[in-house]
């Protein structure tokens, strides 16, 4: 076990000589090797991590290190790092090496974080179980017969298995919050635009958000603060500081809870944990107000129409002509395009490309895509109304606990419904935080989710701390 609970504790222990950063990194590398069966990592940067640890340890002791000094961070393999392979979990990019580093990852490096490796994921971040990777499924370290969630399952499993201090994922429709719930972690999806997407391979550009996995809220906030900010290379990134200043912080907050549970198929144990969390927040002095999200029942349909449409456009660039794997059995240029994509893309990616092309096609654009855009605005308006009554909203993160490997592979509709509680935040562009609230009767993690208005992440952090205090007081 690690002798520290947060990055601040780790720095203090290194400064007073209680632990060695080099030995700490060696510990992680040894654990990664021991737990290869989890299939968390696609690439491990052993030599770089150890050489960085030596340099950063000296900087810590000389008081010249960055604020993330020595934090071992794993990165979902959908971010570019100069000179390091980036596969996006797909055969079509299995040998691709980027020429630049993603802005969010560069900010971590600039503050002396140690990038320990790249983690496995659903191909092009399309999935809810991490069973769609071209490089095999990831297993949940809590119970290896179960999925870790997706698409950022490798990043979640790596933190839950003590293979790193924290990790970076992406959240397009719940791909950080859902695996965080399945692995018993804090999982933050920030406000859309708060963290630059430059260097992040796009699945659905108006939904994709850089997210964070950590074991505590302090490390989550530290990583958020480090990566946030305007980036000239990403026109959708924003300077969040002015927007954040306008948000009022009070000791007692109004917390919106659902007057009616959205999905009647919710697991009874998850519903019970949700109700217990509401009671705990009352104990801390927060006011509970009942809210409705009447159009959330359309969120799954709206989300998959819009994201598949964007995916069909974004993935058109992977044709074997400019980069990535190219088919060698083609008699013409058109055949080369077709064969490269047929051989390179997996089943789920092909399904979403075809769905997206269909909803954008002549005769169906107005019936599906345009209508879905209108519903997206209506869902955002629902949240705007709720945030006039409540400072934050508490809902379940997932309708069920982790499911078994292979259980939903042949039932895509059932798999898509895993995201019933998470997609609304991406449709509205608001922040969401999974908070672990214990285990079910099988010992599998359960999470609840807090949502806030845009750029109000600090409210999420405050309530997460309150819940952590309650668990210490009341057990």
For residue range 316-368, list pLDDT tens digits in order.
999 999 888 999 888 899 999 999 999 999 999 999 999 999 999 999 999 99
**Model confidence at 249: pLDDT above 70:** no
Run of H or E residues at 127: none
Which residues are known to be catalytic? 76, 151, 175
- Which segment of 48-62, 239-253, 397-411 scores lowest on mean pLDDT? 239-253
Assign domain 7-244 one CATH number from 3.40.50.12780, 3.90.420.10, 3.90.1300.10, 3.40.50.800: 3.90.1300.10
Tell me, what's the pLDDT at 354? 97
In the sheet that holds 445-452, the strands lie side by side as 41-44, 114-119, 72-76, 166-171, 209-214, 186-189, 432-439, 445-452, 392-396, 254-258, 287-291
Q: State the pLDDT confidence band at 474, using cuts at 50, 70 and 90.
A: very low
For the chain, first and last CA: distance in Å?
A: 22
State the number of CA atoms in the 13 A half-sphere of 473 facing the CB: 10
Q: Report cis status (omega within 30 of 0) of the bond before 151.
A: yes
φ, ψ for residue 182 (rounded to 5)?
Answer: -70, -20
Where exactly are the structural domains of the chain? 7-244
The gap from C-alpha 20 to its chain's centroid, in whole angstroms, comes to 30
Say what the pTM is: 0.96
Tell me what the pLDDT averaged over the chain comes to: 94
Long-range CB contacts (within 8 A, 24+) of 262-266: 262/293, 262/296, 262/297, 262/395, 262/420, 262/421, 263/399, 263/417, 263/420, 263/421, 265/399, 265/400, 265/417, 266/396, 266/399, 266/400
Q: What is the pLDDT of residues 207-222, one digit of tens each?
A: 999 999 999 999 999 9
In this model, does residue 244 exceed pLDDT 80? Answer: no
Q: 3-state DSSP call for residue 210?
A: strand
User: Residue 422 gets which letter from DSSP?
Assistant: T
Q: What pLDDT does residue 252 have?
A: 82
Rounded CA separation 280/152 (Å): 30
């Amino acid at each position: 076990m690690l002798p520290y609970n947060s990055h601040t504790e780790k720095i203090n222990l290194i400064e007073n000589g209680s632990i060695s950063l080099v030995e700490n990194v060696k510990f992680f590398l040894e654990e990664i090797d021991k737990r290869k069966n989890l299939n968390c990592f696609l690439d491990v940067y052993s030599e770089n991590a150890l050489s960085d640890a030596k340099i950063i340890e000296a900087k810590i002791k000389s008081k010249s290190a960055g604020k993330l000094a020595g934090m071992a961070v794993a990165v979902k393999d959908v971010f570019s790092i100069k000179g390091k392979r980036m596969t996006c979990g797909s055969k079509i990019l299995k040998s691709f090496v980027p020429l630049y580093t993603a802005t969010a990852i560069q900010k971590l490096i600039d503050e002396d974080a140690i990038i320990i490796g790249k983690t496995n994921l659903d191909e092009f971040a399309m999935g809810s179980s991490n069973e769609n990777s071209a490089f095999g499924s990831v297993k949940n370290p809590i119970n290896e017969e179960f999925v870790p969630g997706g698409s950022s399952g490798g990043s979640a499993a790596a933190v839950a298995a003590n293979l790193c201090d924290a990790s970076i994922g992406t959240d397009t429709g719940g791909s950080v919050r859902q695996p965080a719930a399945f692995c018993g972690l804090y999982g933050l999806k920030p406000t859309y635009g708060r963290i630059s997407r430059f260097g992040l391979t796009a699945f659905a550009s108006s939904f994709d958000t850089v997210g964070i996995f950590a074991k505590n809220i302090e490390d989550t906030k530290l990583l958020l603060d480090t990566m946030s900010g305007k980036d000239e290379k990403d026109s959708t990134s924003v300077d969040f500081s002015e927007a954040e200043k306008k948000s009022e912080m009070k000791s007692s907050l109004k917390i919106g809870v659902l007057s009616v549970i959205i999905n009647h198929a919710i697991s009874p144990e998850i519903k019970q944990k949700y109700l217990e969390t509401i009671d705990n927040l009352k104990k801390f002095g927060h006011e509970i107000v009942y809210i409705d999200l009447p159009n959330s029942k359309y969120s799954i349909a709206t989300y998959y129409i819009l994201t598949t449409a964007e995916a069909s456009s974004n993935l058109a660039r992977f044709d074997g002509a400019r980069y990535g794997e190219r088919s060698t059995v083609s008699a013409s240029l058109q055949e080369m395009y077709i064969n490269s994509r047929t051989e390179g893309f997996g089943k789920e990616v092909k399904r979403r490309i075809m769905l997206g092309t269909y909803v954008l096609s002549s005769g169906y654009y107005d019936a599906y895509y345009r209508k879905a855009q209108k519903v997206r605005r209506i869902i955002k308006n629902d949240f705007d109304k709720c945030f006039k009554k409540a400072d934050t909203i508490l809902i379940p993160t997932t309708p069920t606990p982790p499911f078994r490997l292979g259980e939903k592979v042949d039932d895509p509709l059932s798999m898509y419904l895993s995201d019933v509680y998470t997609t609304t935040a991406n449709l509205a562009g608001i922040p969401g935080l999974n908070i672990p609230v214990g285990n079910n009767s099988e010992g599998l993690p359960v999470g609840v989710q807090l949502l806030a208005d845009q750029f109000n992440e600090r409210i999420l952090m405050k309530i997460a701390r309150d819940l952590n205090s309650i668990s210490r007081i009341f057990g």
